[in-house]
Amino acid sequence: MADRMSGFTGRMLRINLTDGSVEREDTDLDATRKFLGGKGYAVNLLFRELKAGTDPLGEENKIVFMTGPLTGTRAPTGNRFCVCTKSPLTGTWLDAHCGGTWGPVLKWAGYDGLVVEGRSDRPRYIYIRNDDVELRDAEWIWGGDTFTVERFLKDKHSRDGDPKLLEIGPAGEGMALLANIISDVRAAGRGGAGAVMGSKNLKAIVVVGDSIRPEDLVHDPAEFRKAIRGAYKKVADDYRTSRRKGGGLVYKGTSNIIDGINEAGGWPTRNFQTGSFDRVLEVDGDAFSENLYSPRESPGTRPCWNCPITCAHVSVIKKGRWAGTVDEGPEYETIWAFGPQCDVSDREAIARADYLCDYYGLDTISVGNTIGFLMECFERGMITEEDTDGVELKFGNALGMVEAVEKAGVMSGDLGKLVGNGVQRASEQIGQGSSSFAMHTKGLEFPAYMPRAAQGLGLSYARSDRGACHLRPWTVGREMLGFDAMDPRTTEGKAQEVKDGTENIAVTWDSSGLCLLSSYAYGDDIVLPIIIAATGYTFANKDDFMLVGERINNLTRAFNVREGFSRKDDTLPDRCLKEPHDTNPCKGMVVKLDEMLDEYYALCGWDQDGIPKREKLIDLGLDLASEQIHGGAD
Amino acid sequence: MKVRVRAFGGLKKLLGHQFEVDLEGDSKVEDLLRLLGRRIDSPSKLLTPEGELAENLSVLLNGLSVNVGKKSREPLSEGDVVSLLPPAGGG
């Protein structure tokens, strides 16, 4: 343990499932100065420990559960942890992030993170109670859904304290490539991390942590209190996050943006064929708030730990075929995935599909994207009911959509396998030119924004380290919603926007332990003093801090380059590059990707094939990456 | 000159969701907002006393934020669609 906390407890766990060993090791505090925690720390670790070509579902892959220096502190939204591994869905680097309470409790148990390696010969779960760490039998809960597993294991360990869990459902056990990891009914959702846990026969990680108080985690408590006060004030004042001002995030959750995105022609409908959903008023934030969400004050609504925004919502279906379903959500991305993407406006069907994804442990974005793709294939006659287990999978068929989710959850039948392994595999299997409208990059399904409606977003999807991701960076605020607005139709300035945004998010949010949603209220100018007070680290100025983000972005890039990824993979399907958009204000537009990539690579110090240059890597102190990509010194 | 207004969130409740407004030929977005502000008897929900967009309002003109190229100052055209939205964040 570190003599004095620095946002980090100074301790990590390393658990080998093959031989059952549990090791405690020091957190590499030199690395935390260069990479901070979370994603940054994990990529530094996994770049060193994973060999190129590692089978993501093989025994040699590793999975890192990592907190940031602000996780478990009193910083607003300091509740995030990330799950990092080599993705079985994309073959790229993967970091998937999750809120709730698990991350803080891991920290209070005395650990910054844990590295899980090997493969158990039978189902196990990891039990952590402060210094006590052991592998336990999970045969009795193997096959269980996430809700039941969470309840059973909480009951079993309730006499030890207040146990918190992350777990996989049947989808992860079946190694569905769209399987996620669930914790407090939130998800480390994207990229198939649940399948990696399943491949290791690891059902859950239970943690009871009460050996460290949040106040004890930070380096300079007085400065820290002063720094976070400003952040709380920003949250209380911003029109989006303020309870007092009726903030959209507070009262509608992320679904508050639906109308704006739809009006900007950016809400993908019928598998990204068009950018506006004609029944938007049936599924927007108001519609869910007025018809399905429980009042936000109701006891069933569980915000993440120490979150002043409290975007979480619960839907209760009270009548009809799915009566009795209690769904935590659905939020923006999920409403899109099972709404306009499948041409469905039945709110209860959307909530039911969301519930089933949580129950089985599936990524809602990827599942909805894939079902929408299959609906288009069905309508074009590329697949028939023979391929879909008899389901007439046409756009608008809400019952068929829900059935497809059920089948994917247990990888049942042809349809379950088509959906559960994602859109890239489905299009490869179907062929017939369907790859031109299989909406993914590097195998990760597009989320809920239309790239043809915002040039910067197109670049963001194409170059993201884990495949098509809307958060690296979220150009949507500037390109569609009018915050510090940028013209969505032009490529001008977009390469710089994507570079700066990616690096900022990597360090300020994804490596600190803060929730990205708090970025609506405050930015790095507020977060940096909090991190300095928590860690005691010195950053000369903002640029010095952003250098950490640049380092992380280069190392995830190097990870992918080592796996064979390059410019050829930083691309978008033909629908984005060749089919003109049909919706204002970007009617007639395609994504002008090549010109933005040229500029983006140049700004990053990468060559025109997207490979980080030797001197860039050396400048950033990434000597090992330089050596592995470029060989020894000239 | 007729323009179409589409209102969302709290403004939808005050103004109705979708309707046409008849304006003088050289009207700008700010003129429209002034007129609508009088209609709901609460001009400050749409414009500041200085004629700037209210802080808690996002306005799109034909799907494009009026903040791009200061479109709130440009004359409207027949058939334009003006969307009035609460400030939004998340995703």
A542-562 vs A524-535: helix axis angle to the nearest 10? 90
Residue of chain A whose alpha carbon sits nearest to that of B59? A482
* A451: DSSP letter: G
Contacts of A254 in chain B (CB under 8 A): 90-91
pTM to 2 decimals?
0.97
CB contact under 8 A, B90 and A482: no
Residues 6+ apart with CB under 8 A from A52: A562, A563, A628
pLDDT value, residue A633: 59
Q: Which residues contact A126 (CB under 8 A, 6 or more apart)?
A: A15, A114, A116, A133, A134, A135, A136, A202, A204, A205, A206
- Return the pLDDT at A1: 45
Interacting residues of A455 by C-beta distance below 8 A, sequence separation 6+: A479, A488, A489, A490, A491, A494, A589, A591, A592, A596
Neighbours of A607 (CB within 10 A): 15
| A contact test, residue of B4, B5, B6, B8 with most A CBs within 10 A | B8
Q: Which residues of B touch A253 (CB under 8 A)?
A: 90
Chain B positions contacting chain A at CB under 8 Å are 6, 8-10, 12, 17, 55-56, 58-60, 62-69, 81, 83, 85-91
Q: What is the ipTM of this complex?
A: 0.96
Q: Which of B64, B67, B90 sits opposite A256 (nearest CB)?
A: B90
Neighbouring CB atoms inside 10 A of A396's CB total 13
Tell me how far the alpha carbon of residue A367 is from its chain's centroid. Answer: 14
Residue A491: φ, ψ to 5°:
-90, -10
Question: How many Å is the Cα radius of gyration of chain B?
Answer: 12
Q: What is the mean pLDDT of each run of 10 residues along chain A (634 residues)?
A: 76 98 97 97 98 98 98 98 98 98 98 98 98 98 98 97 98 98 96 98 98 95 97 95 92 95 98 98 96 84 92 94 96 98 98 98 98 99 98 98 98 97 98 98 98 98 97 95 92 98 94 96 94 94 94 98 98 98 97 98 98 98 98 70
CB-nearest partner of B67 from A249, A449, A482: A482
Identify the pLDDT of residue A2. 45
How many angstroms separate the CA atoms of B6 and A280, rounded?
12
Q: Please indicate whether, in this complex, the C-beta atoms of B60 and A260 are within 8 angstroms of each other.
A: yes
Instruction: For residue A575, count other CB atoms closer than 10 A to its CB.
Output: 22
- Closest residue of chain A to B8, computed from CA coordinates: A259
In this prediction, residue B69 carries a pLDDT of 73
Query: What are the chain A neighbours of B77 within 8 Å (beta carbons)?
Result: none
Q: Which of B12, B83, B90 comes nearest A257 by C-beta?
A: B90
From first to last of its 91 residues, chain B has per-residue pLDDT tens of 999 999 999 999 999 999 999 999 999 999 999 999 999 988 888 988 888 888 889 999 999 999 877 777 778 999 999 999 998 888 7
pLDDT, tens only, A126-140? 999 999 999 999 999
Instruction: For A470, name the nearest residue in chain B, comparing CA atoms only.
Output: B91
* Smallest Cα distance from A349 to chain B, Å: 20
Are B88 and A331 an interchain contact pair (Cβ–Cβ within 8 Å)?
Answer: no
Top residue of A241, A259, A484 to mutate, by most chain B CBs within 10 Å, is A259
| DSSP annotation of A383 | S
Q: How far is it, in rounded angstroms, from Cα B45 to Cα B55?
A: 9
